[in-house]
Structures are given as structure tokens and as C-alpha cells.
Amino acid sequence: MFIVENYAFAVFLCFITMLCWGSWANTQKLSPKKWPFTLFYWDYSIGVLLFSLFIGISVGSFGENGRPLFEDLVQASLGSYAYAFLGGVIFNLANLIIVAAISIAGMSVAFPIGIGTALILGVLVNFISTPIGNPYYLFLGVFFIVLAILIDAIAYKFHLGGKTNSSNTGIVISLAGGILMGLFYRFVALSMSSNFKNPENGLFTPYSALLIFSSGIFISNFIWNTYFMYKPLQGDKVTFKNYILNSTLKTHLIGILGGIIWCIGMSLSLISSEKAGYPISYGLGQGATMVAAAWGVFVWKEFRGATYKTNILISLMFLMFVSGLILIIISRYS
């Protein structure tokens, strides 16, 4: 199977993860306006599962190192299955909440607050479990990202003016999703061997962990997403009949593409985690916050007509994010 050989290449893959995680939600924006996120999300989860299977039977099964996908699945312990699957269940609930927040507050706010919170908590949890990297640089980088999150929330409040109820709702929902999002990665990491070339018996390689994790997303969708379909945080209730009758092939393909884009990022994050370490691999990937905010600001024009003060705050937010990411990168060997 394909294995990353050095830290520099691992960081490069983490940047691709960041781009994927920060961009997949654009497919929701490209979906028809009357297509609820709960229906979009069924196609998204299918895309995640399909790509995890594809990468597992392709680059995850060829080569001299590691274990092929199906051989790895057969030898894994029940505990490994449980951890990876639970990671998918937790991620799915968190992601549904954040997607709902996007529909309420927009990408410029939901991603920086939700995913930024996930970054802080995720780095902390993973560092406590596997303390890789200089903690001073690592957590100083996290501190800069905290500042960026706060600045973004302030900028959004200024831009909304008097519409504070919508703002508060979007921020609260984003925070709830972010807290859950910060926990899922640790469970997936617990299912994986720390040595990819010669993986430990009973533990997964990253490709197998990804497949079981993705299965957890898809299967739990029948619980979490069905609930949100009938009890939406915003908008009207929808049913499975709506999913079948009120859509086109193009609509379904857009959602599947969103899942594939996200899963490409997740696969690269897991593949690079051996050389980068879980705190750094996860932390860099969650730089997606900056990417998503850039999409919201520059492409979707969510801050159109903003005042000079608001634009200054947005610029400062990006500066804080970039500074935080640089500190996280250099923390590995500082």
C-alpha cells in the first residue's frame, strides 16, 4: 500500500486535506436552492463511502509494505472496528450540525467557528494521547486560531447589524457541531497501528480504518439524518419520498462529489498521520476553516457591502489563521 516516507510530503498532503475539507461544502451551495441539506447529505455520505472503498482496493492494496485492504479487515480486532465505526458516528452527527449551521449563518461563519472549535479541541485531545511536537509552538498556533475565530464572529455581528437572533443561532449551532467534531479523529486513531509498513496485529492500516469510519457515517445516517429530516433546525420537514421524486441525477451527483472531495481529504490526513503525528495532521487539515472562509468571502460574497471596519477584521482573521498554521507546522521539529 502507499505510505508517506517523510514529514515534508506529509505536510503537503495535509495542505491538500485542508483544501478538500474547506471546499466540499461548495457543492451544497451548487445544489438547487430548494434542495434541503438533509437530502443533499444522503448523497454526500454515499460519496464518502464510495471513495473510501475505491482508495482501499486501489492504492491501499498494492505494494510491498503494509497489509492489503481485505487482509487487514479480516485480521482486525473487534475493538478496532468499534473505534473506527464510532468515529464515523460522532463525525456524522457533528457534520450534520455544522452543515445546518452553514444554511443558517453562511460558510464565512459556520466553518471558522465550528471547525475552528474542532481544531482546538481535536489538537488538545490528540496531543494528550500522543504528545508529538513542541507544545509551545503547537498551542501558540492554536491560540492564534482562537483569535481568528473570535474576530470572525465579531465581523459577522457587525455585518448583520441588528439581525442578532440569526447571528446567535448560527454561532451556537456551529459551536455545538465543533465540539463533537473535535472528538471523532481520536477514535479513528485508536483503531490504527502506529507503524504503517509493519502494522500491529489486530489494528488497522489507514485505508481499512477509513473504510470502517465511512461505514459508520453511512449507517448512522439512517439515525441522525432521518431525525434532521423530520425535525429540521431550519426549514420544512422532508421525507424519503422527496429524496426520490424531487431531484435530478445532476443533483445527486453534486452531493456525491461533495462526499468524494471530503473523503479525499480524510484519506490523506490518515495516510500522513504516521510521519506528521495525529495532533499536527488533524490540526493542519482543520486549517480548512481559512479555506472555507475564503470561499465565503471572495466567491459567495457573504460579506458583500461590508464596512471598512468589517473588512479590516476579515483581513486580520486571515492573518491570524495563517500565523497559527505556520506555528503548527514548525512545531513538529522545533
Q: Give the start-to-end residue ranges of the domains of the chain.
A: 7-333
- No. of helices (H) and no. of strands (E), the chain: 15, 0
- The pLDDT value given to residue 12: 95
- The pLDDT value given to residue 163: 54
- The pLDDT value given to residue 106: 67
- The pLDDT value given to residue 274: 94
8-38 in b/e burial notation, b at 16+ Cβ within 10 A? eebbebbbbbbbbbbbbbbbbbebeeebbbb
296-314 in b/e burial notation, b at 16+ Cβ within 10 A? bbeeeebbeebeeebeebb
- The pLDDT value given to residue 107: 60
203-224 in b/e burial notation, b at 16+ Cβ within 10 A? bbbbbbbbbbbbbbbbebbeeb
Going by C-beta distance under 8 Å and a sequence separation of 6 or more, which residues neighbour residue 310? 155, 158, 159, 303
Cα–Cα distance measured from residue 252 to residue 273, given in angstroms and rounded to the nearest whole number: 32
- The pLDDT value given to residue 164: 47
Cα–Cα distance measured from residue 50 to residue 99, given in angstroms and rounded to the nearest whole number: 21
CA quadruple 151, 155, 158, 162: dihedral positive or negative? negative
- The pLDDT value given to residue 334: 65
Among 4, 30, 85, which residue's Cα sits nearest to residue 268? 4
Q: What is the mean pLDDT of each run of 10 residues along the chain (334 residues)?
A: 94 94 88 90 97 97 91 97 98 88 71 79 92 92 85 77 61 88 95 95 98 98 95 86 94 97 97 94 83 81 83 91 89 80
